Amino acid sequence: MSTTSEPLRLITRDDVAPLAAGAAVFGTGGGGAVHTVQLSVETSIERFGPVRLMQVSELGPDDAVILLSGIGAPSVGIEMLGASAQVHTLIAEVERIIERPVTAVMAAEIGGSNGVSPVGWAASLGVAVLDADGMGRAFPKSTMISMNVAGLASEFAVMGDVVGNVSVLRTLDMAWLERHARAFTVAAGGIAIGAHYLLTAETAPGAVIEGTVTRAIEVGRRLLASTDPVADMADELAADVLVGGKVIDIERLTEGGFTRGSVTIQGIGTDRGRLLRVEIQNENLVVIEDGEIIVSVPDLITIVDTETGEAISTELLRFGQRVSVLAWACDPLWRTERGLELAGPDAFGYDLEYVPFTPRTEAVR
């Protein structure tokens, strides 16, 4: 792993492309495409100026942080794009509830488009972005979030649509929130944004995964500047390159808002003769070789283009692509009993025992 640099203080327009590239890597195949959102965040920073990136340790007694994320169907998301007033309406409602100003926003998940868009919203709102997120990757359900692992409840959630409708949800738990948020999203025309989990200087430490915005930008910068992208990504992420090969089979189907399926990769070059299967439910979840599980969720699995090192999201996987599969360890929080209960193999319906992934390269380090 590269030496950890000083955390960023300010996110400028030039940081958006690396952030998007890095967020795609942490998206582990899901989290939504980053291109359109990159465009809106760049436009937003051009209009409103750079965004302050705040560390958890910098939170003061007056700070109020709220999570922001988008929810919805990607096929609708490319057509019905967001409204600039949408996030303002949402935050105004949050402030009415908490009776003080929101001073920073945080990404629910750093992986995919949801890791990028909060920066644009922060620019437009004139608030900071917390250098942290709730997953350290992408997950498909709102229950799969670090605050839930830490036992922190979200007392309310606010949802908003493109025309300005706002709904305040007070649900018994995250599972109910997931259900009601989906219903709202359907009524909103298939896409909405939501704010939940109010965090403060007291509650945030230990309940969020810190430093992930800086990490995503670092990873993206290294990727975009690299001449040997796969090796550099492996080094940057402390990941193993499980296989270098080509996609020889893809199975995909959409059910209940999830894309399920698998992709089979045949080794080429030094990996000739090997065959790996990656199981997918929105994100890449399990890697199997010779009937044996090599890596499984919550550890991270990303399929990258062998030539460019760019992460390939599930919907863009295609037969014949030359790809490399990278795997690396998740945040320790997900390896706790509660973490695995919420986002381990069981939570996705896999009947398998989770074995923490240890990169082969770690022994050498």
Would you tell me which residues interact with another protein (CB under 8 A)? Answer: 35-36, 39-40, 43-44, 71-73, 75-76, 78-86, 120, 162-164, 182, 185-191, 246, 248-249, 254, 256-258, 316, 318-322
Closest CA to 143 of 351, 354, 334: 334
Considering the complex, state which of residue 176 and residue 319 has its C-beta at the smaller distance from another protein.
Answer: 319
Compute the least distance from the CB of residue 280 to another protein, in Å.
15
Compute the least distance from the CB of residue 345 to another protein, in Å.
23
Asked if 241 contacts 265 with a C-beta cutoff of 8 angstroms, the reply is no
Considering the complex, state which of residue 36 and residue 55 has its C-beta at the smaller distance from another protein.
Answer: 36
CA distance 359 to 336: 19
Compute the least distance from the CB of residue 206 to another protein, in Å.
33
Considering the complex, state which of residue 284 and residue 313 has its C-beta at the smaller distance from another protein.
Answer: 313
Considering the complex, state which of residue 37 and residue 59 has its C-beta at the smaller distance from another protein.
Answer: 37
Q: Which tokens hold the place of 7?
A: 């955390």
CA dihedral 351, 355, 359, 364 (to 10 degrees): -150
Compute the least distance from the CB of residue 360 to another protein, in Å.
28
Considering the complex, state which of residue 259 and residue 296 has its C-beta at the smaller distance from another protein.
Answer: 259
Considering the complex, state which of residue 31 and residue 136 has its C-beta at the smaller distance from another protein.
Answer: 31
CA angle 45, 47, 48 (to 5 degrees): 65
CA distance 69 to 60: 24
Phi/psi region, residue 31 (left: phi>0; alpha: psi -120 to 50; beta: rest), is left
Buried/exposed 343-363: b ≥16 CB within 10 Å, e otherwise: bbbebbebeeebeebebeeee
- CA 133, 139, 141, 144 torsion: positive or negative? negative
Compute the least distance from the CB of residue 330 to another protein, in Å.
26
Closest CA to 69 of 204, 212, 194, 216: 194
Compute the least distance from the CB of residue 134 to another protein, in Å.
21
Considering the complex, state which of residue 35 and residue 170 has its C-beta at the smaller distance from another protein.
Answer: 35
Residue 46 buriedness (CB in 10 A; 0-12 / 13-18 / 19+)? exposed
